[in-house]
Structure 1
Amino acid sequence: MATLQEALAPKRTPLYHLHQARSGNDHWQPLNGYAVEGAPDDSKEANVARLTQCSLSDLSALARLGVRGQKAAGFLTQHGYQLPSAPNQAVKQPDGSLVARLSASEYLLLGSLADAGQRISQHETQWPSHQSGVYCLPRQDTHAWLALSGPHISAVMAKLCGVDMRPNVFAPGQVAQTAVARANAIVINAGACFYLLVDTALACYFWSVMLDAMQEFDGQPLSVTALQHALES
């Protein structure tokens, strides 16, 4: 049975226990209501070096939301979102969030590191779950969200996925809905990194498989706060 302290603790991502086993109980901080690893006590230059090597980050604390329906495009446009012109494309918003178009009438909204996804979190609480022609789909608990960074990301993905993700083929803003390590996944080229979204139930398996594929390139986990600091540098 959970203690009072545990009951009052911040929410935890599906990978929390793996991060805790690696880093212990120190340097934890809140992010969007979740407990996440803090950035290492070193320079921004060190975090940038990690980012430019090969790194994997857990972004599952950031807000994400699905919107589907015949009127979804108009609804999102009215709320200030810039939309992709075709399915399997993504557009980065001015605030750093991202909108991916998964089909003719379904969109995935991913929060920004800059504001911990607060814009999308607020919209999720304010928007009705459905109205005529528009349905909001909770994605916070259904999909774990990872970021694969560094110059070797295409080579890492080539070990796990049949889609060609070399830079000249899988350009920034492209989306692949495919199998990665035999798991259904959404892969988005977000420019500075690849976003990978996978069923929450497979998060631990997926994390370990990704780290194994990264070993050839000395890949290491990178906390979400360290990733944020590196991207701001």
Structure 2
Amino acid sequence: MNALYEVERSPIAKSTTASYQTFGLGKQFLKDIDIDAEKQIQQCAIVDLTNLSRVGFRGQDAADYLISYGFQLPEQPNQALLQEDGCWVARLSFTEYCVLGSLHDFGERVSQLEQGWTMDERANYLLPRQDSHAWIQLTGQHVALVMAKLCGIDLQQQAFTVGQIAQTSVARINAIVINVSDAQTQKFNLLCDRAAALYLWDVLIDAMDEFDGRVAGIEAIL
């Protein structure tokens, strides 16, 4: 499996001159190119997390499968729950879940979760999200204002709280927006079709310009 990580490439790499470097077991992420990266993350930044592990499950037994692996689940659809190790479990419908890996272990727990799945008599179907979806994180105090340019849903703090999910259109493409803010800064995870990742990345950079938004590597959010 490690060899797979070594050859994995984010489609967003085509849009930036910044270099990617290896973290964890061979996974490639953008390096920080700004000496004030931590400050930039708190102000307005965009981070490519496409190579961080994620996986989906759907079916009547999907919840029991995740619970058996020690995950806590949101009570309702369109909610996400932070796990103790930094993973997020997003509930997209009554029987569909998406598990987002943690930077604490560079997604290894989620990789193992996917590898542990087997087809059996249970109604629990694997949804491989690594190849189908790209993962972009938008951070900083201006995230809601940036998104207001591209999305018709109100994503301000009072309307879109931590753990909420919006399955909506962003810049005219389907996207899943998850509020994963913490005590340090506001953060939105955006999942979109991998084929549209480069387009959405460039659109977000353009939308961030008036807020002095910058591309950032992962060091400042580790």
User: What is the CA-CA distance between 1:29 and the residue it aligns to?
Assistant: 2.5
**Structure 2: stretches of 5+ with no match in the other structure:** none
Other-structure match for 1:203:
197
Change (3 A) 1:112 1:212: same
Q: Which amino acid aligns with 2:85?
A: D
Paired with 2:123 and 2:5, the residues of 1 have a C-alpha distance of 38
CA distance in 2, matches of 1:64, 1:188: 14
- Separation in structure 1 between the aligned mates of residue 62 and residue 146 of structure 2, nearest angstrom: 35
Q: Percent identity, aligned pairs only?
A: 46
Partner of 2:57: 67
Q: Does 1:93 align with 2:93?
A: no
- 1:138 is aligned to 2:128: yes
Cα deviation for residue 137 of structure 1 reads 0.9
Pair 1:186-2:176 in alignment: yes
Going from structure 1 to structure 2, the CA distance change for 1:40 and 1:138 (only over 3 Å counts) comes to same
Distance 1:98 1:137, change over 3 A: same
Q: 1:34 aligns with which of 27, 50, 68?
A: 27
1:132 alignment partner AA: R
Q: Do the aligned partners of 2:6 and 2:26 also contact (CA within 8 Å) in 1?
A: no
Q: Distance in 2 between matches of 1:77 and 1:8?
A: 27
TM-score normalised by length of structure 1: 0.87
The secondary structure found in structure 1 opposite 2:7 is coil
Larger radius of gyration: 1
Name the SS of the counterpart of 2:115 in structure 1: helix
Distance 1:196 1:203 in 2: 10
**Number of residue pairs aligned between Structure 1 and Structure 2:** 215
Partner of 1:47: 37
| Alignment partners' CA distance in 1, 2:29 and 2:74 | 31
Question: Hey, which bits of structure 1, 4+ residues long, moved more than 6 A?
Answer: none
Deviation at 1:8, TM superposition (A): 11
Shift of 1:14: 1.4
**Cα distance, 1:188 vs. partner?**
0.1
SS at match of 2:84: coil
Deviations 1:147-184 (A, max 9, x none): 00000000011110011001001000000000000000
The match for 1:12 is: 9
* TM-score after normalising by structure 2: 0.91
Question: 5 Å matches for 1:117-136?
Answer: 117-129=107-119, 131-136=121-126
